[in-house]
């Protein structure tokens, strides 16, 4: 369980600011894990109910209607006062359309608080568990991550399924090899990158 702790990551933008505010409020009341679980519940609800997503993004609904709508939405589950007050604040400030982005940003904060480092691995074909574990072991021993960090690596979704909620991607366009994103660093070991560099050298030689 995560107890009271400082914000582990500096996030920017509207979603980053709201996620940070929620993290701080939940941390002060020692309910970080509970709020995290509640937000995952909200995320699942948005994913399975198109009507909820439409409601959150509806630009013509006034703030009173949105506040009532959020209250009704959260009444379907058992949510902590921190989560209820947070969504009430989003409705009051006209920021419910940022909900999905805020959920992603909050998840980033929770991962960082646990010492987890998300690794995005893009490959032409899905990698098996053995290859992923070998890659994870190699990266954990490298200077790319600090000692004690926990790497979260995955690579088994199709390009069509890729969105901001996952940390892996299969992209045939890279032809072969890997593109690894870890933190703010990118390691491009793809065949397509090498072909591009070769073409650039050939064009300069002409």
Query: CA–CA separation, 56 vs 147, rounded Å?
Result: 41
Question: Looking at the chain, which residues constitute the CATH 1.10.520.20 domain(s)?
Answer: 13-111
What is the structure's pLDDT at 160? 35
User: Is the pLDDT at 171 greater than 70, yes or no?
Assistant: yes
Query: CA–CA separation, 106 vs 160, rounded Å?
Result: 25
What is the structure's pLDDT at 169? 65
Tokens 């980033």 locate to 108
Strands 178-182 and 116-123: antiparallel
Torsion over CA: 89, 103, 3, 182 (sign)? negative
In this structure, which long-range contacts are made by residues 141-147, counting pairs with CB atoms below 8 Å and at least 24 apart in sequence?
A: 144/182, 144/183, 144/185, 144/187, 145/117, 145/182, 145/183
Q: Are 36 and 106 spatial neighbours (Cβ–Cβ below 8 Å)?
A: yes
pLDDT digits (tens, 9 = 90+) for 105-148: 999 888 888 877 777 788 888 777 888 888 888 888 887 777 66
Which residue, among 158, 91, 90, has the nearest Cα to 124 in the 3D structure? 158
pLDDT digits (tens, 9 = 90+) for 44-98: 989 898 999 899 998 888 888 999 999 988 887 789 999 999 999 999 999 999 9
Tell me what the pLDDT averaged over the chain comes to.
81
What is the structure's pLDDT at 115? 79
Tokens 């065949």 locate to 191
Query: CA–CA separation, 93 vs 112, rounded Å?
Result: 27
What is the structure's pLDDT at 121? 82
What is the structure's pLDDT at 154? 57
Between 47-51, 101-105, 153-157, 187-191, the lowest mean confidence (pLDDT) is in 153-157
In this structure, which long-range contacts are made by residues 40-49, counting pairs with CB atoms below 8 Å and at least 24 apart in sequence?
A: 41/77, 42/99, 42/103, 43/100, 43/103, 43/165, 45/73, 46/99, 46/100
For domain 13-111, give its CATH number from 1.10.3720.10, 1.10.520.20, 3.50.50.60, 2.50.20.20.
Answer: 1.10.520.20
Count CA atoms closer than 13 A to 57's CA, side-chain side.
8
DSSP state of 167: S
């Amino acid at each position: 369980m995560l107890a009271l702790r400082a914000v582990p990551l500096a996030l920017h933008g509207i979603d980053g600011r709201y996620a940070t505010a929620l993290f701080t409020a939940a941390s002060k009341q020692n309910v970080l894990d509970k709020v995290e679980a509640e937000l995952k519940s909200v995320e699942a609800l948005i994913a399975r109910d198109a009507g909820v997503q439409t409601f959150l993004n509806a630009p013509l609904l006034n703030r009173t209607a949105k506040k009532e709508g959020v209250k009704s939405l959260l009444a379907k589950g058992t949510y902590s006062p921190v989560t209820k007050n947070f969504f009430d604040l989003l409705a009051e400030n006209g920021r419910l359309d940022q909900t999905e982005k805020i959920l992603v940003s909050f998840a980033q904060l929770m991962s960082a608080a646990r010492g987890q480092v998300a690794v995005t691995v893009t490959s032409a074909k899905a990698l098996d568990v053995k290859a992923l574990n070998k890659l994870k072991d190699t990266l954990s021993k490298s200077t790319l991550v600090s000692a004690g960090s926990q790497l979260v690596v995955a690579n088994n979704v199709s390009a069509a399924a890729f969105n901001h909620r996952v940390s892996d991607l299969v992209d045939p366009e890279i032809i072969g090899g890997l593109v690894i994103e870890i933190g703010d660093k990118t390691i491009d070991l793809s065949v397509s990158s090498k072909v591009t560099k070769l073409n650039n050298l050939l064009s300069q030689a002409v």
